[in-house]
Structure 1
Amino acid sequence: MPLLIVAFGIVALLILIMFFKLNTFVSLIIVSFGVSLALGIPLDNIVKTIESGLGGTLGHLALIFGLGAMLGKLLSDSGGAQRIAMTLVNKFGEKNIQWAVVTASFIIGIALFFEVGLVLLIPIIFAISRELKVSILYLGIPMGAALSVTHGFLPPHPGPTAIAGELGANLGHVLMYGLIVSIPTVIIAGPLFTKVAKKLVPEAFTKTGDIRSLGEQKEFKLEDTPGFGISVFTALLPVILMSIGTIITLLQKTIGFPENALLRGIEFIGNADVSMLISLLVAVYTMGLARKIPIKNVMESCATAISNIGMMLLIIGGGGAFKQVLIDGGVGDYVAELFQGTSLSPILLAWIIAAILRVSLGSATVAALTTTGLVLPMLGQSDVNLALVVLATGAGSVIASHVNDAGFWMFKEYFGLSMKETFATWTLLETIISVVGLGVILLLSVVI
């Protein structure tokens, strides 16, 4: 019965979003109330449940998400992202242009959220395509793969960050294992998959695309942008700080040397919130003040970044509210009982549930957050590595992007593809990321 109620709730969510065109956040809150009533949560507890789910999710996520958005915006507005992309293109040369695009997109994708990275990189991809006379899709698939992988697996992106918070996983471990998962996944889903896609839909590689909807893009002369080294350092600083903190903590546990003030200081700096704050302050200097940009202009970029993510934060909060309803309504416990004694790994179960919800709902973040509400009660019975469960949930949540996902339509329109071509490129690309990611995660679970 609880699973039937959840199924009806998901169908209701689809109807509200797709047929009645209601805002996703509003739809999530309506469905959360409806499912609460159906699950028998007492009337005086329903509002508390929804508020605690929304607040608990945003309480952990808002700081990292907000600081990350500002960092990405400063990198974009200063021309730092363009410097990274163009320098790598020039270094790799025409023959290895796909690997240049993959590397640039991966570095930029760590600092910028998926939609922002897409909007920033597509004009650069089109410019390179014209100059080298190569297909835009030949460059677009590796770019999409790199951006999607960083979005699905690496903090400070909202999905992995939110899931880690809900499951109580160490964000540094998620980042380190996420990098291990990301590299082979990007290679397979990017340059290697392009060869397959070219055989599946060769006509798609003749399309010229259309980016007029992106509006006028800010263009920089390369000499007016920050240096390549400082741009890469600024983009990767959160990763560097969190990785150092995680490695030191792991070494301390392995070798067993005593706690001291230096170790506590390194662990403090390696905390995700602190790492993001330090990185933002460095970006304010390297991408702004050091280049004689007035602090007022730098702060305007930061303010714009926050205003752009307001609705996304609410949607994530709505996903957290729905997740809490599933937990307080006993659905998670019901799923735990259902799989009690089963040999099915929580990693695999998290991936399966997230994949089903992703195909149903479209939103990777909402699918991931809803999955945590269903698998969380199971984790108490298992000694599974929580960071790997986070990554498996992220992998499941990116599978099979189709007509109910905004990313599907963005890719289709920008690259001028037909529906069939979009399914054979973008949808298949996302599915490869999900399946290859799961495969690497399961291999890691054997050795960790």
Structure 2
Amino acid sequence: MPLLVVGISVLVLLLLMTRLKLNGFAALLLVAVGVALVRGIPVAEIPDVLAEGIGGQIGDTMLTIGLGAMVGRVMGDSGAAQRIADRLLKAFGPRWVQVAMVVVAMLIGVTMFYEVAFVIIVPVAFTLVRVTGANLLWVGLPMSIALSTMHSFLPPHPGPTAVAATFDASAGLTLFYGLFIAVPAGALIALVWPRLPFVRRMNPELPKGLVSERVFEDSEMPGMGWSLFVALFPVVLIAGAAVTDMVWTGNSPVLHTIEFIGSAPIALLLTLLLAMWVFGPRIGRSLTEVADSCRSAASAMAMILLVIGAGGAFKQVLVDGGISEYIKDATGGWSISPIILAWLIAAILRVALGSATVAVVTASGVVLPLLAGSGVHPEMMVLAVSCGSIAFSHVNDPGFWMFKEYFNLSVVDAIKARTTYTTTLAVLGLGGVLAMEGVLDALNV
């Protein structure tokens, strides 16, 4: 049974990493090869499948994470990240630092991918931890939860946008309705989860190489205006492109230029060039010092990128092994509410494959024939599928490894923190979708 293969592969991976202390990159590749053999992928094709998975995952994330890490380190080594952190502390106070992270993450995360927003905000979170002496997860977990919610629930993020096209739903209405679900659900989990006893017992150290260890005097730090301008520069570029894409259609050179500049790698590359001048020669730091900051960030990212790439290989083996088709065939005849069915199929696929994109695309294809005669608002179906796709993030999800490595957690602790919060968010999201559908029906919208 394909799902049994998935379950056993996850257990073997946990055993290799927790008991035998095998490196995450090697363990993921080893388990991926084993799953490929069991699922009948020809031996001669296995290297190509692994390469496709690694290449696809690294291609999507290397530029974003690498450039984002360099921007963050340049800001950290110049004191800009501390300047922003100090201003957040002054505005919210140490008691409300989690609220500050949730507000910032939700505002930035509405239009930015999880990975992009994460690498932009995390230097500020690291600096807040160093300045306040707080637990890393106490500050960082609310940020991650808020970003996960925005990325998974709402257009213009890739999953919800793709499903909206499948269901012929309005992306604008989906975003409007989704905000009423995502904001309260995300804020609730973000503020509750760091307070749970099993999370509070975790006390990871700041990862080395990704944050400056120097504490700056006020006179040594760049001004708040420049610090905030550089931090928000990629946000404006990416958000501007996303809004333009939602509002205007066409084939004009202007739209193509906006799309190009607003793509995550280009926006971050332009931000890095801006940061190198603003926090380099402009304030008296040499380009050699700035280059050293970039080099330090790149060195620290090497293992993180390898592990994320291996996670992509594991995911690809599961996809090519036919597990998504098996789940699609097995659930095609279920006779339950279209909203619950859409959520459930997306959640099962997420557990089995780790890929939220595969989960939402497959689930939407299964339930699409049921939508026409169901009377369910297509926007609610989009949100149901999107909510299901966030559930049960674990070792076959490359995003899980990014979370684990940045927050310097063991595999078991990462499962305790991330798998539980993503699952709870998915369940709350389903409840919110069912409630919203009831309200729309009552209002005869």
TM (normalized to structure 1)? Answer: 0.70
1:94-243 correspondence runs (5 A): 99-100=99-100, 102-103=102-103, 110=117, 112=119, 119-126=126-133, 141=138, 144-150=141-147, 153-154=150-151, 180=179, 183-185=183-185, 187-191=187-191, 193=192, 197=195, 217-243=213-239
On the 8 A contact 1:149/1:185 being kept in 2, the answer is no
Matched residues in 2 for 1:80 and 1:322: separation? 38
The aligned counterpart of 1:82 is: 82
CA gap of 1:443–1:274, structure 2 versus 1, over 3 A, is: farther
Q: State the number of aligned residues.
A: 392
Q: Measure how far apart 1:29 and its partner are.
A: 0.7
Q: Deviations over 1:369-404 (max 9, x none)?
A: 4x65666544444568899656753454289xx9xx
Is the deviation greater in 298-307 or in 277-286?
277-286
On the 8 A contact 1:241/1:270 being kept in 2, the answer is yes
Q: Measure how far apart 1:65 and its partner are.
A: 1.7
Describe the SS at the equivalent of 1:112.
Answer: helix
1:318 aligned onto 2:310: yes
1:69 aligned onto 2:69: yes
On the 8 A contact 1:346/1:379 being kept in 2, the answer is yes
CA gap of 1:375–1:290, structure 2 versus 1, over 3 A, is: same
The aligned counterpart of 1:364 is: none
Describe the SS at the equivalent of 2:216.
Answer: coil
Q: Deviations over 1:153-206 (max 9, x none)?
A: 559xxxx99x86xx8999xx99x9699576544532355x38x95xx87xx99x
Matched residues in 2 for 1:123 and 1:63: separation? 27
Q: Measure how far apart 1:49 and its partner are.
A: 1.2
Q: Measure how far apart 1:112 and its partner are.
A: 3.2
Letter in 2 for 1:74: V
Matched residues in 1 for 2:59 and 2:88: separation? 38
Matched residues in 2 for 1:435 and 1:148: separation? 14
On the 8 A contact 2:82/2:124 being kept in 1, the answer is no
Matched residues in 1 for 2:141 and 2:81: separation? 16
Q: Measure how far apart 1:105 and its partner are.
A: 7.4
1:13-52 correspondence runs (5 A): 13-52=13-52
On the 8 A contact 2:241/2:258 being kept in 1, the answer is yes
CA gap of 1:117–1:407, structure 2 versus 1, over 3 A, is: farther
1:292-331 correspondence runs (5 A): 292-331=284-323
The aligned counterpart of 2:57 is: 57
Letter in 2 for 1:335: I
1:289 aligned onto 2:281: yes
Matched residues in 1 for 2:425 and 2:40: separation? 38
CA gap of 1:320–1:84, structure 2 versus 1, over 3 A, is: same
Q: Measure how far apart 1:294 and its partner are.
A: 0.9
On the 8 A contact 2:346/2:388 being kept in 1, the answer is yes
On the 8 A contact 2:32/2:314 being kept in 1, the answer is yes
CA gap of 1:311–1:393, structure 2 versus 1, over 3 A, is: farther
CA gap of 1:434–1:9, structure 2 versus 1, over 3 A, is: same
The aligned counterpart of 2:8 is: 8
CA gap of 1:353–1:222, structure 2 versus 1, over 3 A, is: farther
Matched residues in 1 for 2:81 and 2:265: separation? 23
Unaligned runs of 5+ in 1: 127-135, 358-366, 413-418
CA gap of 1:340–1:408, structure 2 versus 1, over 3 A, is: same
Is the deviation greater in 180-189 or in 11-20?
180-189
Q: Measure how far apart 1:54 and its partner are.
A: 1.2
Q: Measure how far apart 1:89 and its partner are.
A: 2.2
Describe the SS at the equivalent of 1:219.
Answer: coil
Q: Measure how far apart 1:93 and its partner are.
A: 5.2
TM (normalized to structure 2)? Answer: 0.70
On the 8 A contact 2:57/2:309 being kept in 1, the answer is yes
Letter in 1 for 2:146: V
CA gap of 1:239–1:102, structure 2 versus 1, over 3 A, is: same
- State the identity as a percent: 30
The aligned counterpart of 2:247 is: 251
On the 8 A contact 2:207/2:406 being kept in 1, the answer is no
Describe the SS at the equivalent of 1:10.
Answer: helix
The aligned counterpart of 2:375 is: none
Q: Deviations over 1:97-117 (max 9, x none)?
A: 664465567779935378766
Q: Measure how far apart 1:142 and its partner are.
A: 5.6
Unaligned runs of 5+ in 2: 110-115, 166-170, 369-377, 441-445
On the 8 A contact 1:3/1:331 being kept in 2, the answer is yes
Matched residues in 2 for 1:284 and 1:213: separation? 23
On the 8 A contact 1:143/1:190 being kept in 2, the answer is no
CA gap of 1:94–1:37, structure 2 versus 1, over 3 A, is: closer
Give me the CA root mean square deviation: 4.7
